[in-house]
């Protein structure tokens, strides 16, 4: 199973989605097609916005770092945040907002605690460049990388409940490893959160 399938399984048919950092709209388009969802993508990259428009998706040009106060409490069934939280200036505030707006939130994060990342930091003394973190330190948009353990601590601090969690291996597929090892062995994790 891949990330997209996990997300589809967690989203109910006909529900309303807010996709924060929706990229070129691929996930939203698939959800619209397969699950008849409605909703919006939020994006700041102009090329991505154009791709969304061409797909006929609703896209709002908005910088998440400047707040999400224009979205009402619990106004979406799902707030989807795929590979976005680590590029935000204030992930804690964003997480607070995300869980305010959505009945549930689906968050995909790259795991900085993955063994490949750890090896490059501790053995090579360099910032990691791996499959899920392909950019060098000086050009990466990932300004707030965290480990699975860090993220889960933040959730508990904010009173956010982790309803479900799936672990992705380095091929981007859901792995069957026990969650106790997830901090070391997963390259990314998908969470279903509620509050």
Partner 1 sequence: MNNKDSVGIVEPSSASFKDPLLLECGKELKGFELVYETYGKLNNENSNAVLICHALSGNHHAAGYHKDSEKRAGWWDSLIGPNKAIDTNKYFVVSPNNLGGCHGTTGPISINPDTNKIFGPNFPVLTVRDWTNSQAMLADHLNIKAWHAVIGGSLGGMQALDWSIAYPERIKKAGVIAAAPKLSAQNIAFNEVARQAITSDPDYQEGNYLLENTSPKSGLRLARMVGHITYLSDESMKSKFGRELKEEKLGFGFDAEFQVESYLRHQGDVFSDTFDANTYLLMTKVLDYFDPADEFNGDLMKAFEPILAQILVLSFSSDWRFSPSRSKEITDALIGVKKKVSHIEIESSLGHDSFLFPEERYVEVLKAFLGSPS
Give me the residues that bind partner 1 (CB under 8 A), please: 16, 38, 40, 46, 49-50, 52-62, 70-72, 75
Measured at the CA of 194, the angle between CA 191 and CA 195, to 5 degrees, comes to: 140
Nearer to partner 1, 42 or 88 (CB): 42
Nearer to partner 1, 71 or 112 (CB): 71
- Shortest distance (Å) from residue 61 CB to partner 1: 5
- Shortest distance (Å) from residue 58 CB to partner 1: 5
Please give the torsion angle defined by the CA atoms of residues 119, 125, 131 and 135, in that order, rounded to the nearest 10 degrees. 170
- Shortest distance (Å) from residue 59 CB to partner 1: 5
Nearer to partner 1, 6 or 64 (CB): 64
Task: Label residue 180 exposed, middle or buried (CB < 10 Å: 0-12, 13-18, 19+).
Answer: exposed
In SS3 terms, 3-38 reads as HHHHHHHHCCCCCEEEEECCCCCHHHHHHHHHHCCE
Nearer to partner 1, 56 or 159 (CB): 56
- Shortest distance (Å) from residue 22 CB to partner 1: 12
- Shortest distance (Å) from residue 92 CB to partner 1: 24
Is residue 84 classed as helix, strand or coil in its secondary structure? coil
- Number of H helices and E strands in the chain, helices first, is 7, 7
CA distance 176 to 124: 29
Nearer to partner 1, 63 or 153 (CB): 63
């Amino acid at each position: 199973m891949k990330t997209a399938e996990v997300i589809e399984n967690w989203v109910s048919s006909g529900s309303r989605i807010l996709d924060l950092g929706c990229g070129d709209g691929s996930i939203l388009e698939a959800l619209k097609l397969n699950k008849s969802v409605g909703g919006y993508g939020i994006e700041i990259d102009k090329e991505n916005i154009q791709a969304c428009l061409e797909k006929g998706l609703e896209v709002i040009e908005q910088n998440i770092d400047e707040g999400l106060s224009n979205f009402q409490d619990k106004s979406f069934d799902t707030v989807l945040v795929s590979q976005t939280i680590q590029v935000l200036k204030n992930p804690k505030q964003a997480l607070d907002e995300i869980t305010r707006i959505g009945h549930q939130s689906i968050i995909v994060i790259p795991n900085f605690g993955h063994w490949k990342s750890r090896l490059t930091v501790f053995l090579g003394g360099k910032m990691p460049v791996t499959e899920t973190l392909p950019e060098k330190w000086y050009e990466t948009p990932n300004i707030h990388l965290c480990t699975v353990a860090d993220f889960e601590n933040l959730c508990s601090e904010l009173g956010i409940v982790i309803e479900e969690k799936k672990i992705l291996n380095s091929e981007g597929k859901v792995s069957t490893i026990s969650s106790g090892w997830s901090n070391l062995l997963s390259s990314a994790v998908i969470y279903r959160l509620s509050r």
